[in-house]
Amino acid sequence: MQPLRSHELPTLTELALRVATTLRERGQKVAVAESSAGGLVCAALLAIPGASAYFVGGAVIYTRRAGKALLGLTPQDMTGLRGETEPYAALIAGRTRDVHRATWGIAESGAAGPSPSPYGDVPGRVCLAIAGARTAVQTVETGLQDRPMNMDLFARHLLALFDQTLHAQEASDVFEAAP
């Protein structure tokens, strides 16, 4: 899946409503792990009325200490990994899904800016991951140093990837059911 360009993305509220509607219709639930989006994904999903039907929980995993406390991450889990990579985002998405006993886990890890991350990643770079019946990972670079704008775009890109993944699953389910 190709990421949508930032100017092509629907608003955070529009994306949350699309995701919430799909999850509610399917009777599925999501858990969220955020880093540089700072809770915007959780807030957007919770702003949709009836969130308890599809939202299990979420956390901002901003440090290794938070990963240990909130997701039970161990040094062994992190062997060969660092934040702000697709393998790390995939680990966090899967762990979030499992810890919350949700249908789906979604996660992001990036550098909102305005300066590079401690790992040397440029501002505006985020790794996204979806874990569930289908999995997806994606790296997006906004090219921006504007921290609040990047946080919003990271949240929107994560929900857009989740929406695409949900609909890709739906399309494959229809295709597999065809005679």
User: What is the reported pLDDT for 119?
Assistant: 87
Give which of 121, 116, 123, 136 is closest to 83, Cα–Cα. 121
How far, in Å, CA of 57 to CA of 96, rounded? 9
Supply 61's token pair: 């995993």
Convert the pLDDT of each residue in 64-111 to its tens digit: 899 999 999 999 999 999 999 999 999 999 999 999 999 999 999 999
User: What is the reported pLDDT for 175?
Assistant: 45
User: What is the reported pLDDT for 4?
Assistant: 60
β-strands 104-111, 136-141 pairing:
unpaired
How far, in Å, CA of 107 to CA of 159, rounded? 10
User: What is the reported pLDDT for 178?
Assistant: 44
- Which domains can be identified in the chain, with CATH numbers? 8-177 (3.90.950.20)
User: What is the reported pLDDT for 163?
Assistant: 97
User: What is the reported pLDDT for 1?
Assistant: 54
Q: Can you name the residues that pair with 59 across neighbouring β-strands?
A: 33
In tens digits, the chain (179 residues) has pLDDT values of 556 666 789 999 999 999 999 999 999 999 999 999 999 999 999 999 999 999 999 999 999 899 999 999 999 999 999 999 999 999 999 999 999 999 999 999 999 999 999 888 999 999 999 999 999 999 999 999 999 999 999 999 999 999 999 999 666 655 444 45
